[in-house]
Amino acid sequence: MTGSAPSRRLLSPRLWERYFGLDPQVIGQTIALNKTGFTIVGVLPRDYVGPISGDPADFYVPMAAQPTLNSGASLTVAENWWVQIMARRAPETAEAQAEASLTLLLSQFLETSRDWLKQPRVVLLDARRGLGAGTSAQPLWAMQGLVSLVLLIACANLASLLLAQGAGRRHEITVRAAMGAGRWRLMRQSLTESLVLSAAGAALGLLVASWIKIALMGFLTRADEGFRVVVKIDAYVLAFTIGAAAVTTVLCGLIPAWQAGRVHPAAGLKDSGRQTAPRLRLGKVLVATQIGLAVILVFGTGLLVQTLVNLHEVHPGFDVENLLVFRLNPGQAGYQGQDRTSFYDRVHEVLSGIPGSRSVAFSSRGLLGSGMEGSSVSIPGRQDSSQKAIAYMLTVSDGFFHTMGIPLLSGRSFNASDTPGAVNAAVVNETFARTFFPDEVALGQTFQAGGTEHQIVGLCRDAHYKDLRDAVPPTMYFSHRQRSSGGMTFAVRSALPPMSLVPGVRKLVAAIDRDIPLENVATQKQIIKRSIAGERLSAVLCGGMALLAITLSCIGLYALMAYNVARRTPEMGIRLALGARPQDVAWPVVREALVLATFGMAVGLPAALALTRLARSVFFEIKPHDPMTLIGAAVLMILVAALAAWIPARRAAKTDPMVALRYE
């Protein structure tokens, strides 16, 4: 777009389909955006996702047109940090040299900037991954680790099943070896069987992945409507799947193939008269390994679920019930200064009279959903370290605290007397009072923020501002009449279901100015739900992996116990014939499964503790070594082991002594 006229723009394929019905004649048409005309010069490819991970942009305009669309996005104000810079490095320029040059330019720029941000620095990123890919990739790497654990469990499961199958076919393999089949031929047969199973699993996995992809994208879209990303099964996915199938073939089939290749015909034929199958000591090791790996996933899932529960139980400090939230930005339609303030007051007035509305307020930022504003704070006459502290700030309307349900502890809220010519009034929260006036009454005190002196006229209760995870920060509230702001987030307290008011709200705002749309319409509950969408997704995905791991471990343990019961059928028949009770025959089977589970947990639980300590930042108000989660994971695996052994044990208890003795 370099060198394009400011009146041109590119459409995303989403916008082309949504508003123009994929009309090929759209090129050259002129449309209005914030009362500014733009000519459509092109449509981006359908698979285009933008340079930013999850880019929600529907159209692209020249940089010179940005101040026209957004009055807060000036290209000349040094304190604006909204531009993402992309450059193509010359082949002869080293990355370190480019970084050093950009760092020098940044330091020269910061000498003219009064921005309160501390120590910004230049970070060069690989454009192939997009801006923000490092942060976005961290959960994906974690998920890859979980998938790898499940794959290892599946490999151990399949290897133990193939060992049992090989043990059952011991006589057949011995005969084949006696007839001249070489070691490599026997090993090749075992590896081929493993390859067939792996290939079938890979094909089924790709089919299931196509379904999971649809469900996962739907979950992400519901969690964040602005999130846009393309996920497809391409050549890289197919190559990875084929590679995983090949590795699985080797891991699963190598041990059974090695055992098949080392058979001795003479010894095997000598023992072929015995009807008892050999013990599977290695199979026990594999089953214990499965249980140990499953414990890691179960323990991690328990911690993530408790994190999600703890986040749900955090009180945000205000009333979230029946609260409709949306954003208006009249600056995009040309409103400035007093005209913008008058527009907000007019919207406030008409929305207060809408049927179902109990109260209306607005603020420069919405709570728990739209970033933050902050400023350094200093107290006149003080030289202590508190001068360097940062406080969050909000510009709010008169009825903000009443509408949001934030109690005032002392003083007053804002009113019509807080005009531009009056003393700059401020309401602060409890944390602000404790931080800056620990031994004094905050009410009536003065402080400086952003180069302006303010007087505290009210003290309110703490409320979470940006994130439920964060401690409530020092927060100061200013009147919208005394401090101008760009867009405002409106909050309508409703006596009806909040979303039922949206059509009426749209109609009333359009009656004031049809060029100003409602943005980010949602209920406060939906906003909070989106703010913890990452934790919910992690808990769901890890829980799914844990359930799959438990199922595989249960299958592996069941197969081993069933094999042992079949192998020991003559012994059990003799014991029952000699007067043993059914429970005396069944209990050793269950006991063996519990012993294997105990050995698996003895290895898995320490590994789980070590891994969760590395990921302690993921958890909220819970320790990585939480004893209740630890006990819960252990009890669950014991129950799973007992369940897996119950059917073979029940079968052993019902063994008919006469049928069993025929094997002898």
Same domain, 196 and 260: yes
Decide if 575 is inside a domain.
Answer: yes
CA 394 to chain centre: 28
Q: How far is Cα 501 from Cα 361, in angstroms, rounded to an integer?
A: 15
Looking at residue 586, its pLDDT comes to 85
Same domain, 95 and 37: no
The burial class, CB within 10 Å (0-12 / 13-18 / 19+), for 173 is buried
Looking at residue 348, its pLDDT comes to 94
Q: What is the mean pLDDT of each run of 10 residues along the chain (664 residues)?
A: 50 76 83 76 77 69 67 60 76 84 80 59 73 62 79 78 66 66 70 79 79 68 56 75 76 65 56 50 81 91 90 92 92 81 92 92 88 85 63 93 94 91 93 91 90 92 90 93 86 93 93 88 91 84 89 87 77 78 84 90 89 81 85 90 87 72 56
Looking at residue 37, its pLDDT comes to 76
Radius of gyration of the chain (CA): 34
Residues 6 or more apart whose CB falls under 8 angstroms from that of 451 comprise none
Contact between 645 and 557 under an 8 Å Cβ cutoff? The reply is: yes
Q: How far is Cα 625 from Cα 640, in angstroms, rounded to an integer?
A: 22
Q: How far is Cα 639 from Cα 397, in angstroms, rounded to an integer?
A: 58
Q: Where do the DSSP E strands lie in 336-451?
A: 357-363, 374-378, 390-396, 408-411, 425-429, 446-449
Other beta carbons within 10 angstroms of residue 383's beta carbon come to 8
Length reported for the chain: 664
Residue with tokens 């919405």: 366
Residues 6 or more apart whose CB falls under 8 angstroms from that of 45 comprise 13
Same domain, 411 and 473: yes
Decide if 79 is inside a domain.
Answer: no
From residue 417, alpha-carbon distances to 61, 424, 454 in Å are: 43, 11, 15
Decide if 596 is inside a domain.
Answer: yes
Same domain, 451 and 353: yes
Same domain, 295 and 243: no
Looking at residue 385, its pLDDT comes to 46
Decide if 645 is inside a domain.
Answer: yes
Same domain, 462 and 574: no
Same domain, 543 and 591: yes
Decide if 448 is inside a domain.
Answer: yes
Looking at residue 3, its pLDDT comes to 39
Looking at residue 401, its pLDDT comes to 95
Looking at residue 359, its pLDDT comes to 94
Beta strands 425-429 and 323-328 are unpaired
From residue 85, alpha-carbon distances to 7, 125, 254, 591 in Å are: 22, 11, 52, 64
Looking at residue 63, its pLDDT comes to 75
Looking at residue 505, its pLDDT comes to 94
Same domain, 602 and 623: yes
Range of the domain at 231: 169-274
Q: At what angle do helices 533-567 and 133-168 cross, to 10 degrees?
A: 10
Decide if 228 is inside a domain.
Answer: yes
Same domain, 610 and 567: yes
Looking at residue 39, its pLDDT comes to 84
Looking at residue 410, its pLDDT comes to 93
> How many domains are contained in the chain?
5
Q: Where do the DSSP E strands lie in 329-417?
A: 357-363, 374-378, 390-396, 408-411
Structure confidence by residue, pLDDT tens digits, 71-97: 555 666 666 666 777 788 888 888 888
Q: At what angle do helices 582-614 and 281-313 cross, to 10 degrees?
A: 60
Decide if 623 is inside a domain.
Answer: yes
Same domain, 490 and 538: no
Same domain, 540 and 650: yes
Same domain, 475 and 503: yes
557: left (phi over 0), alpha (psi -120 to 50) or beta: alpha
Q: How far is Cα 486 from Cα 481, in angstroms, rounded to an integer?
A: 13
Decide if 145 is inside a domain.
Answer: no
- List the alpha helices (DSSP H) in 274-327: 281-313
Beta strands 452-460 and 390-396 are unpaired
Looking at residue 2, its pLDDT comes to 38
